[in-house]
Structure 1
Amino acid sequence: MTRVIYPAQRAIEHAVTVPGVRPARLFPVLWPLWQVETAAQVYDEQAYEVIDRFLVRGILEAGLHRSADLAAFYGLPTSLVERCLAFLTLIGHVRNTEGLVTLTPLGESSARADVRYVPKESRQQLLVERFTARPLPRSHYQGSLSLLPTPHVPAERVSDGSRFAPLFSSSTFRPEIVTQLGEQPDRFDFNLPKQLRNLRVLGHQDAYLPAYLIEDADGRLLAYSGVHGERDTFLESLCDRVPLIRTLIAAEPSQDRERSGPIGSRTANERAPYGSCPAVSGAQPSLRTASVARQRCHSVGSGRTSYASGTSCRSGPTTRSCDGRQHCDGLWPSRSSAMSVPEPTSPAG
């Protein structure tokens, strides 16, 4: 079954409930990620068998290191104790040296945690954000998050006609981004098991996360990607860390932003200013979309950064020619070709 992308209307409806926020403009974007295939030796947490639990405690706490002593202490047949010790040796919890039974480091950590750790090979996928090379938190692996393998959004994945503008990062993937994560004590917060060893990268591919950036009247950015139906605080923190995002949003033209007011402050049959959010009440908003320029470049003969649409660069009030060969981050809408912006339709009748 094809998963439908989190709709813009739900993001807007949540944004208007945030205290102190007056949403003004909506930007549907595709956030670039790496989808990394990893392998590692992990420890499966299992419950001890009753006798096994008491045997490892007898070794650890009572200092009993021979099968006969353990059997006598617990009043068990020696043959039963030896079979249990053989199993614990097989899974790497116990070592038996000429009849002397001791716990391995794995067996000792299991005994202290009262959990039987069983080593096994595991593979899983990790998601890494491309602008800052930060791994996505555990919350992004739970629920109905939508991911796309390419910047193309199939029509059947969109329920409200939203048109998403892909963001671009020129950074390259480095395996140590993931392998270093495996050495961090907080790796569980990024969807890695607490108990793991020898984390390896098997491969990676591009992925894109559909998200909505909502700018309020004070310039604050809220982000929504469908994580539990709430704000995506991880993406919001990235907007603060990545100056390019703020630059793109700030330069997006709007008509008298301050007069646009919060969502719902105008009737649905009033035309929304360029780039403003649709009214929540009234008719379902339609979305108009124009092309998005895919280059940011330097003006010919100028040291200042300007933004290209087609083959023309804008730098201040003048327009200069651009050869389009420079390469850098981001997607930039020119004044005549903007990101997807919703526009309310008049209610029937």
Structure 2
Amino acid sequence: MNDRLIRYGEARALEHVAFALGRTPTRIMRLLLPVYRVEVEATVTEGRPYALIDRFLEHGIAEGRLRSVAELADFFFLDPNLVDRAIRFLTAIGHVREAGGMLSLTELGYQSVRDDKRYERVERDRRVLYFGGFGSRPLSRRYYGSGRVTLLSPADHHDRFTLVSSFGSFEPKALTDLARDPNRDHYNLPGRVEDLRMLHAEQVFLPAYIVRTLGPERDRYVAYTQIGEEDDAEITSLYAGTPEVASLLELEENASDGGLNLSYARKWLAKRGLGEFEPKRRADGTWQVVLPAKAFGRAGGENGLSAFKVGSFIVLGSDLIHVWCPDEKLRTDVLLKRMDAFLAQRSRVSAPDVEALLSRLTRQLQLVPIDLPTLRSMAANASLHGLAAQLSEFS
């Protein structure tokens, strides 16, 4: 199995918490959160966009009192064969009926014209719905079929992620509540549903980072998932504050008295040739290691740290160490290289996206605020001509 269930690392999530949300991270855990995968069967009516000709023909029957293929073809200046094929299709999906050579709309057809949606009724429709493992609250459509979200079976154990089980069972009332919810389409259930019944329910697991931060207990935790590199507000709401999840982070925090496994941290630094430097506890209780410029610029591994770690975090288990360097020239160089890497990885990016990242990185690296034209000048002076050329598109 791929070692990285979430395409970005924990440090990226921590940077977002600290420098986009403005909160202070104290701990991070890699969790597999329980999700109920529920297979259901129902009679559903789904609304899809009309094909242009189909819309004209149904409006012609409903409002223009056009009652035959010939009348429709004449009125809309269309080929009769094309109209005939379209009418056959609309008849097949239950929108049009023919009696004595006369065309009329069914109730479903009239509803479609009224709502400007091509409703299709499917009996014995089977589909999968996802519900949170604590409280059986539904997950929204963005967790379905995106190609980004991986829901693992209990057998798909992953060494770096801790599996969180829900020892209860799925609450069938959640299905009834969802069927009555006027916003059910948001949760992958069509706007019209009848005779909804559950066929099967099983537990699967969603990979997530849960970050503990300083602050009031009720909003102390923030979730990051495969959905994107920003915090996942939906999963935060469904899981992050539950006793089952919060207790895991609090146990880790209390076990170290809110501290750090210093022995392990020292060994980690020594292995990279940085054994002379000691992590120090800051006034807010978090940990930081201050390193000189010469400790950076290498690829990492056995010798030193990547320069990209300046202003970011070392993650050791669930422990965090903020990495700092007082050398402003190095931090400026890191800013340019990170902006260069960001733009090189994206074929399409907007000026607001670039400005948002630039603002975040200047805060993260404690540099004075700069604008895009200034950044372009800095890139040109540093011989980062590709970055300068890309930035010229935004100024």
- State the partner residue of 1:28: 30
2:41/2:199 contact within 8 Å kept: yes
2:26/2:319 contact within 8 Å kept: no
- State the partner residue of 1:226: 226
Matched, 1:104 2:106: yes
Residues in 1 aligned to 2:79 and 2:238: alpha-carbon distance in whole angstroms? 62
- State the partner residue of 2:158: 154
Quick one: which amino acid aligns to residue 289 of structure 2? R
Q: Structure 1's 188 and 78: CA in aligned 2 closer, same or farther, altered over 3 A?
A: closer
Quick one: which amino acid aligns to residue 27 of structure 2? R
What is the 5 A alignment of 1:118-157?
A: 118-120=120-122, 122-141=125-144, 142=146, 144-150=148-154, 153-155=157-159
Q: Give the drift of 1:4.
A: 2.9
Q: Structure 1's 284 and 24: CA in aligned 2 closer, same or farther, altered over 3 A?
A: closer
1:16/1:263 contact within 8 Å kept: no
Aligned length: 278
Equivalent position SS for 1:16: helix
Structure with bigger helix share is: 2
Q: Structure 1's 58 and 117: CA in aligned 2 closer, same or farther, altered over 3 A?
A: same
Corresponding residue to 1:208 among 185, 201, 205: 205
Quick one: which amino acid aligns to residue 104 of structure 1? T
Q: Structure 1's 268 and 232: CA in aligned 2 closer, same or farther, altered over 3 A?
A: farther
What's the C-alpha RMSD, in Å, of the aligned pairs? 4.1
- State the partner residue of 1:93: 95
Residues in 1 aligned to 2:38 and 2:31: alpha-carbon distance in whole angstroms? 21
Q: Structure 1's 56 and 267: CA in aligned 2 closer, same or farther, altered over 3 A?
A: same
Residues in 2 aligned to 1:3 and 1:185: alpha-carbon distance in whole angstroms? 40
Residues in 2 aligned to 1:102 and 1:245: alpha-carbon distance in whole angstroms? 58
Q: Structure 1's 260 and 192: CA in aligned 2 closer, same or farther, altered over 3 A?
A: farther
Q: Structure 1's 48 and 239: CA in aligned 2 closer, same or farther, altered over 3 A?
A: closer
Residues in 2 aligned to 1:246 and 1:91: alpha-carbon distance in whole angstroms? 50
Corresponding residue to 2:175 among 159, 175, 178: 178
Equivalent position SS for 2:289: coil
Residues in 1 aligned to 2:137 and 2:68: alpha-carbon distance in whole angstroms? 50
Q: Structure 1's 280 and 32: CA in aligned 2 closer, same or farther, altered over 3 A?
A: farther
Report the TM-score, using the length of structure 1 for normalisation.
0.63
Matched, 1:266 2:289: yes
Residues in 1 aligned to 2:2 and 2:170: alpha-carbon distance in whole angstroms? 29
1:24/1:260 contact within 8 Å kept: no
Q: Give the drift of 1:128.
A: 0.9
- CA displacement 1:5-47 (0-9 Å, x = unmatched): 1232222222222343011122222211111223444536364
1:144/1:226 contact within 8 Å kept: yes
Residues in 2 aligned to 1:100 and 1:283: alpha-carbon distance in whole angstroms? 73
- Ranked by relative contact order (alpha carbons within 8 Å, sequence separation 6 or more), the top structure is 1
- State the partner residue of 2:278: none
5+ long unaligned stretches in structure 1: 156-162, 270-278, 289-340
Equivalent position SS for 2:198: strand
- State the partner residue of 1:4: 4
Equivalent position SS for 1:148: coil
- CA displacement 1:152-186 (0-9 Å, x = unmatched): 6335xxxxxxx333323232124442354234221
Identity %: 33
- State the partner residue of 2:266: none
Structure with bigger strand share is: 1
